[in-house]
Structure 1
Amino acid sequence: MTTAKPGLADSVDWRLYFVTDTPLAGGPERVPWFVEQAVIGGAGVVQIRDKTLPHDDFLALTKACVTANQRAYERCGRQAALVVNDRLEVAEELGLNVHMGQSDGDIREARRRLGDGLLIGLSISNQTELDAEFAAQSADVLGLSPIWDTPTKTDTEAALGLDGAATLVQQTNRRAKTVAIGGISHGNVRSVIGTGVDGICVVSAIAARPDPQQAAAELLKAWDDSSASV
């Protein structure tokens, strides 16, 4: 099985997607606390991302985030879908979803190894990448990246901007969920929601805030405000 399972992503609340950042959090031991606070604040998806930690340390970090997600559930009755960035072997070992960049390996091999019961995300930066993925779809969710340039991730393609993101959303024809990432903040989140994406991904808008729970709640509220203004 190398294709995405239709409807699998419908069970996830994609509106607020938090991507962890170890240095911003103050070290790996602090990341799980940010995960817990973000989920209590309303994050429906959390991606554990650290490109530099050795395998065993990243595995331990991911396990700690799984526990933090469970603590959040015990406190507020809500938990997030957990996503592992890039490290397919960790996702496979723990039974978690995975997100892949264009250079992170073969997405169809990832689908074969994870089966059709786990979600796979794929970064998309242009029409060519979108067309290649839809030629034999394996991803459940597409990360449109970057919307704007951001200091938390510098190895990206040229910024899409709002118009570029909106065009890609339209081109998907809802065959996959879409989430936007790159430079999204409390000040511009409503304009990104207006592109038609299913969710917004943030890093520093939660990880660099002194109260990540409140920061998450404010970002999620932007969806309600946008719906009310339509």
Structure 2
Amino acid sequence: MIPAGTDFSLYFITDTALCGGPERVPEVVREAALGGAGVVQVRDKQATDAEFERLARACAAAVREAEDSLGRGVELVVNDRLSVAAELGLHLHVGQSDAGAEAARKALGPELMVGLSVSTPEETRRAVGQGIADVVGIGPVWTTPTKGDAAAPLGPDGTAECAELARAGGLAGVAIGGINASTATQLAGVPVDGLCVVSAIAAVPDPRASAAEMLRISRTVLTATGGAR
């Protein structure tokens, strides 16, 4: 279930290397949230389960600190690690080849969000038909160096087709893949609920300022599309 008031406009996904190492990830997460990210996903495919759990705990503490300053909620999502999400009571995002959405829903119950990656209209239709996921990550929109195993780029038109299917099926949809301040405006007219970024926040000297700028751009794009929930 999507918590009331969740703002998908700017969805930040961490990259441990781009952030400067595991010890810096929580700091970047806090700054991203303070800059306006309404959803943060912790992703590290290389970490062991124990390392990832420590990272997720530290990021949860950073999010709570940001929430105290902001006076509003920021949703924290775990990528792939179902056991960590269940242990910490966090939302979960899975890919087509990760732990299944059905297993995630069974373990997490109805109150937490389950996200699912989709890369084609067929995968989007299947996600809608399953009736399990709450939100789909649609992409890659463009080629991205932060995910080497990504599917072929959808481009704005392919992303729009998937987003329309998701919305018609009652799912939130966020675009991911190669999105930054230069490319985001090309998504005007695409009915997504938010934009996901990685390097645009993780790889810059001032993550808070970059998040604020990306949020401004995202809201402009979403206003143009009618995509913001």
The two structures share one fold, judged by TM-score above 0.5: yes
**Does the alignment pair 1:130 with 2:160?**
no
Amino acid at match of 1:199: G
For residues 22 and 77 of structure 1, what CA distance do their matches in structure 2 show? 27
Q: 1:197 aligns with which of 171, 178, 192?
A: 192
Contact 1:39/1:78 (8 A) holds in 2: no
**Does the alignment pair 1:52 with 2:46?**
yes
Aligned to 1:105: 99
**Does the alignment pair 1:186 with 2:184?**
no
Aligned ranges 1:1-230 → 2 under 5 Å: 5=1, 8=2, 10-172=4-166, 173=168, 175-226=170-221
Deviations 1:73-108 (A, max 9, x none): 222323410000000000000000000000002211
Residue aligned with 1:93, SS? helix
TM-score of the superposition, structure 2-length normalised? 0.93
Deviations 1:145-203 (A, max 9, x none): 10001001010111000000011111221510000000001112122253110000000
For residues 151 and 58 of structure 1, what CA distance do their matches in structure 2 show? 22
| Matched-pair identity in % | 47
Distance 1:227 1:113, change over 3 A: closer
Cα offset, 1:213, TM superposition: 0.2
Deviations 1:37-77 (A, max 9, x none): 00000000000000111111110110000110111122232
For residues 43 and 49 of structure 2, what CA distance do their matches in structure 1 show? 12
For residues 183 and 105 of structure 1, what CA distance do their matches in structure 2 show? 25
Contact 2:128/2:171 (8 A) holds in 1: no
- Tell me how large the CA RMSD over aligned residues is: 1.6
Of stretches 137-146 and 169-178 in structure 1, the one that deviates more from structure 2 is 169-178
For residues 72 and 182 of structure 1, what CA distance do their matches in structure 2 show? 26
Contact 2:15/2:43 (8 A) holds in 1: yes
Contact 2:10/2:194 (8 A) holds in 1: yes
5+ residue gaps, structure 1, are none
Contact 2:7/2:38 (8 A) holds in 1: yes
For residues 14 and 114 of structure 1, what CA distance do their matches in structure 2 show? 21
5+ residue gaps, structure 2, are none
Distance 1:10 1:174, change over 3 A: farther
For residues 220 and 128 of structure 1, what CA distance do their matches in structure 2 show? 30
Contact 2:156/2:190 (8 A) holds in 1: yes
Cα offset, 1:114, TM superposition: 0.5
Question: How many residues of Structure 1 are paired with residues of Structure 2 in the alignment?
Answer: 224
TM-score of the superposition, structure 1-length normalised? 0.93
